[in-house]
Amino acid sequence: MTLKVCNFQRLSLEEKKLVLEWRNYPLVSINMVNQKVISWEEHCKFIENLTDDKTREYLLLYKKDVPVAVFYVVDIIEYTSAEWGFYLRPEYIGSGLGVEVEFYALNYLFSKYKLEKLNAVIRKSNYENLNLQKTFRFERYKEDENFDYLTMTRDSWSKNTKDFKQFRRELLRRISNERS
Amino acid sequence: MSAVEKILQFVNEIREEKSLDRVESINPDTNLRDDLALQSLDLASLTVMIEDEFEVDVFEDGLVFTVGEIIQKIER
């Protein structure tokens, strides 16, 4: 299994187009905090503004040389906290790939930024993602009408194995325990 | 028990845990998400079950969406 990332600032023109297509796909945009359709101009401006911005990082994730997902981290305070999210290539939604993407992303983010905690904001209507975060052991610390606000500490994440296959087995045990 | 029957057994184990009705049959065209209502975490579970039974990680070099695609990887 090979996963690699490409920072948004290094995206080719084709990759930029691809990412915008995914971001505006209805099944993706409906679950974003900002649900509005993004124009090409806005997209390019957004990527341009990421230059020299140490508080945000956007990455395109490849699996076996196929671009499969975007994950991002904002409000980065190194050694302290950040907020993250991801979206899959639309045809891979519900493929089971989200588990692998999240495992890779959390390892990357906790390791790179030495975070004490990582937050996530998930729409209440996004049941599948909320269920995924619960199984990963994110905990809700706040909620409002539309969103659940989740957090995970470095200690909690560091208890997990760094091997994805083993982690997948651990998830299976957690799911079985929760359902029984 | 054939590979298809074994996959059907695994699918039903997952569906039962989710309080979904058992599925009586599957075929190569059966879609894991649309026809069997398996979600991301269920597919992760199914992958582990298949790996234990057939020693094949069906997600190792790509994605699978149908029962037929799983069978292909098992029989490769």
Interface contacts (A, B; CB < 8 Å): 59
Task: Cite the beta strand spans of chain A per DSSP E.
Answer: 3-7, 57-63, 66-77, 81-88, 117-123, 139-143, 147-153
pLDDT value, residue A164: 87
* Nearest alpha carbon to residue A119 among A49, A54, A72, A51: A72
Model confidence at B1, pLDDT cuts 50, 70, 90, reads: confident
- For residue A158, count other CB atoms closer than 10 A to its CB: 10
Mean pLDDT across B63-76: 90
Is residue A126 within 8 Å of A87, Cβ to Cβ?
no
| pLDDT bracket for residue B62 (50, 70, 90) | confident
Q: What are the tens digits of pLDDT across the range B27-57?
A: 999 999 999 999 888 998 899 999 999 998 8
Residues 55-74 of B with CB under 8 A from A: 57, 59-65
Q: What is the pLDDT of residue B58?
A: 86
Residues of chain B contacting residue A98, judged by C-beta atoms under 8 Å apart: 40
Where chain A has pLDDT below 50, the residues are: none
Supply angle C-alpha B8, B11, B17, rounded to 5: 140
Residue B61 has pLDDT above 80, yes or no: no
Of B17, B48, B61, the CB nearest to A169: B48
Does B47 sit within 8 Å of A168, measured CB to CB?
Answer: yes
Are B17 and A92 within 8 A, CB to CB? no
Cβ atoms within 10 Å of B70's Cβ, excluding its own: 25
Residue A96 to residue A93: CA distance in whole angstroms = 8
- Yes or no: say if A157 and A106 are a contact pair by the CB < 8 Å rule: yes
> CB–CB of B57 and A165 under 8 A?
yes
Closest CA to A88 of A163, A30, A19: A19
CB contact under 8 A, B40 and A95: yes
What pTM was estimated for this model as a whole?
0.89
What's the pLDDT score for residue A59? 95
